[in-house]
């Protein structure tokens, strides 16, 4: 697609981390307005930023956002959760919440905003995945990101008739609160946000936001037992 300059965007989970970096990068590239969401109300002093409460587990909350942001042309599904959730021994409630936020949350957003994007010329939907979409060993989180990757690929086909460009983003560890305890090399949120928008503006359908994502993607044709969390190190 063309430049994001002059466009109206929605960023879920835009209060901090990668979401906040996406808001900053969108504004730096000339976005006309950015709706930035969080689970609780918060303020942003920039006139181009409209903050909104959003609970992606609630269809009613998502529908309310779509009604407010009826001028949206770009939607970034960034909100996510990382909970302790080993598949065999972890709390099943954590696994259920992980899938509800990381898989069904973006799907709810996509379903609510599809008619909005269609009415505004098609626009784009950008979904955040993870290098852990392709690697075993991170419990329900990795499984949820694998499911989200599949959802994105199917949404790309279903949204094509209305000319909505769908982008899937894979990234390794990003220096945010979510993975602050993880001792691994990390990209900065600003670096990843810039690569996402570079890819979007270039018309990419998939963005590999760092070297580890590119390395793991290339390994998908190899033996499945090699696709483990340790391979990302």
Specify the pLDDT at position 228. Answer: 74
Q: Which residues 6+ apart lie within 8 Å of 170 measured at CB? A: 129, 130, 131, 133, 134, 149, 206, 207, 208, 209, 213, 217
pLDDT tens sequence across 131-146: 999 999 899 999 999 9
For residues 76 and 22, is the Cβ–Cβ distance under 8 A? yes
47 vs 85: which has the higher pLDDT: 47
Q: Global pTM? A: 0.92
Q: Which residue has the tokens 């483990």?
A: 228
Kindly state which CATH superfamily the domain 8-232 is placed in.
NAD(P)-binding Rossmann-like Domain (3.40.50.720)
Q: Write out pLDDT tens, residues 20-46.
A: 999 999 999 999 999 999 999 999 999
pLDDT tens string 95-119: 999 999 999 999 999 999 999 999 9
Q: State phi, psi for 167 to the nearest 5 degrees.
A: -120, 130
Phi and psi at 194, nearest 5°, equal -65, -40
Mean pLDDT across the chain: 92
Contact between 23 and 12 (Cβ < 8 Å): no
User: Any idea which of 93-102, 120-129, 172-181, 219-228 has the lowest mean pLDDT?
Assistant: 172-181
Note the pLDDT of residue 231.
41
* pLDDT exceeds 50 at position 233: no
Per-domain boundaries in the chain? 8-232
């Amino acid at each position: 697609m063309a430049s994001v300059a002059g466009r109206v965007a929605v960023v879920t989970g835009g209060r901090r981390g990668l979401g906040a970096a996406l808001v900053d990068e969108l504004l730096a590239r000339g976005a006309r307005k950015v709706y930035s969401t969080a689970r609780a109300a918060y303020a942003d002093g920039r006139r181009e930023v409209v903050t909104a409460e959003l609970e992606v587990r609630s269809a009613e909350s998502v529908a309310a956002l779509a009604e407010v942001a009826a001028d949206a042309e770009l939607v970034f599904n960034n909100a996510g959760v990382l909970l302790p959730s080993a598949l065999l021994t972890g709390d099943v409630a954590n696994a259920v919440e992980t899938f509800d936020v990381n898989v069904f949350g973006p799907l709810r957003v996509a379903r609510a905003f599809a008619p909005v994007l269609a009415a505004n010329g098609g626009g784009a939907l950008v979904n955040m995945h993870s290098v852990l979409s392709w690697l075993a060993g991170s419990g329900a989180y990795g499984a949820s990101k694998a499911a989200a990757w599949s959802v994105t690929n199917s949404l790309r086909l279903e949204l094509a008739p209305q000319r909505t460009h769908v982008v899937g983003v894979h990234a390794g560890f990003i220096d945010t609160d979510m993975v602050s305890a993880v001792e691994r090399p990390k990209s900065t949120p600003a670096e990843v946000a810039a690569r996402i928008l570079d890819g979007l503006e270039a018309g990419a359908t998939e963005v590999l936001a760092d070297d580890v994502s590119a390395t793991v993607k290339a390994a998908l044709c190899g033996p499945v037992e090699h696709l483990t969390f340790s391979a990302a190190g």
